[in-house]
A and B are shown apart, each in its own frame.
Chain A
């Protein structure tokens, strides 16, 4: 089938191949705008309203982030103390061997978690109850 033809007179056709100044300006502008947008979104993560404390996948309690409280979680695997200050949640002390949960920086945005694997504890920030 002779639909395609490779002819040498291609320069006659009106398609531009070399990038023009307008191209470069447009592409740079789009890149800058989108990267700035992503950065703004990345920095303005949504702060949560509640914190879910779960043991072995089951919610033990849900606390509001607006009240500064301390919650001592006692269970047969061990103890964790969870503290809420200024809408941030941290595990302040635990008798687990690795102390990863205690060393974790405080969390405040929706979806962030602190996990204590030895005690099967998950602390997660939620938007709703």
Chain B
């Protein structure tokens, strides 16, 4: 365990040393991941899920967030998420959509970063935490904006759907993390 941690540390140190060197490469990588995340959320929107509660979705874009979190670190993850949300809101949505998405992204990234740092959860656990906190963050903003507490009616359904979607995305992420490595 000690040995493994020291290896982890040395990798991290190497990464920070390399970060300044490979700034351009890092930027390009972030750009590619933003594009990928946008495509994934667009693909997802092509498959309509008819549910009584709005907000039930798989969250394919979370795949990119998780890969970024586990491979690139928190700073790049925030950059990729915010970049994706701002770009897709400007291109396809409106200000309200951006507000909801940002609220969801903030709470989910925060939760996932804390869960990952605690080293007690696997990729699947982090994914589930991210999905559920994303839904909760959005519902909180919706309740504030609409001044309607009846929105909490949806909460139970969204926690359930978030858990299921989180497990699915977590399993997908494990396969992707196994096979994708970014050269640093």
Chain A residues in contact with chain B, CB under 8 A?
2-7, 10, 12-20, 22-23, 26-27, 30-31, 33-38, 40-41
Contact = CB atoms under 8 A, between A and B. Distances in A.
Contacts of B167: 27
Nearest to A33: B159
A16 B117 CA distance: 12
Given A17-B122, A19-B122, A27 B128 contact: yes
Contacts of A16: 119, 121-123
Interface of B is mostly: helix
Chain B contact-residue range equals 35 or more
Interface stretch (B55-63, B100-108, B140-148, B149-157): B149-157
Given A34-B163, A38-B160, A41-B156, A19 B182 contact: no
A65 to B, nearest CB: 21
Interface stretch (B39-47, B79-87, B173-181): B173-181
A20 B120 contact: yes
A34 B157 CA distance: 7
Given A4-B180, A6-B181, A27-B163, A15 B11 contact: no
A29 to B, nearest CB: 10
B163 A10 contact: no
A23 B160 contact: no
B156 A22 contact: no
Contacts of B132: 30
Given A23-B122, A30-B163, A33-B159, A15 B177 contact: yes
Nearest to A2: B183
